Amino acid sequence: MRIGHGYDVHAFEAGDYLMLGGVRVPHDRAFKAHSDGDVLIHALCDALIGAAALGDIGRHFPDTDPRYAGADSRALLRAVLQKLVERGWRVGNVDCTVIAQMPKLAPHIEAMRTHLAADLAIEPERVNVKATTTERLGFTGREEGVAAHAVVLIERG
């Protein structure tokens, strides 16, 4: 059994939705990113890649590579899982925290769990997603962007 941790941040730009955990969350801004900007999935990818000691997300999907322009982060997550499965790993459980002052994410958490569990080929009971504000402190509190952490356990399949 091994543990991995991931962290990612995306700043806001003009737009009208945020992609988070594969859910299109209505908002008055969008993520500035090379891909769809799904900061939650990027943190989760990094946690999985870290647990398997395979580097980081940018090594596997460079943000200079036009193939990943506008990429669906769920497809990246499935590709990361495939790399782990090829090396004999399966996912034990994942726990994720999205740090966002706004928008309110509670109504979308269950849909995120469902998407992440499907992409990781595990039961939703092995996936937790939670959200917190920073009580208006720091860059997330000033609504300049969103951060996410993820912790995973992987096991021999």
Ligand X SMILES: C[C@@]1(CO)OP(=O)(O)OP(=O)(O)OC[C@H]1O
Ligand Y SMILES: Nc1ccn([C@@H]2O[C@H](COP(=O)(O)O)[C@@H](O)[C@H]2O)c(=O)n1
Chain positions contacting ligand X, by CB under 6 A: 8, 33-35, 37, 42, 57-58, 61-63, 68, 71
Q: Which two tokens stand for residue 32?
A: 């500035």
Residue 51: CB minimum distance to ligand X, A: 17
- For residue 23 the two structure tokens come to 């859910």
Residues shown for the chain: 157
For residues 119 and 74, the answer to whether their CB atoms sit within 8 Å is yes
Tell me the closest approach of the beta carbon of residue 27 to ligand Y, in angstroms. Answer: 10
Geometric angle at alpha carbon 39, from 102 and 141, rounded to 5°: 30
Give the whole-angstrom CA distance, residue 128 versus residue 24: 18
Residue (53 or 106) nearer to ligand X, CB: 53
Binding ligand Y (rule: CB under 6 A), the pick from 132, 136, 137, 155 is 132
Q: At closest approach, how far in Å is the CB of 96 from ligand X? A: 15
Asked if residue 61 belongs to a known ligand binding site, the reply is yes
Which residues define the annotated binding site? 8-10, 34-35, 42, 56-58, 61-65, 132-135, 139, 142
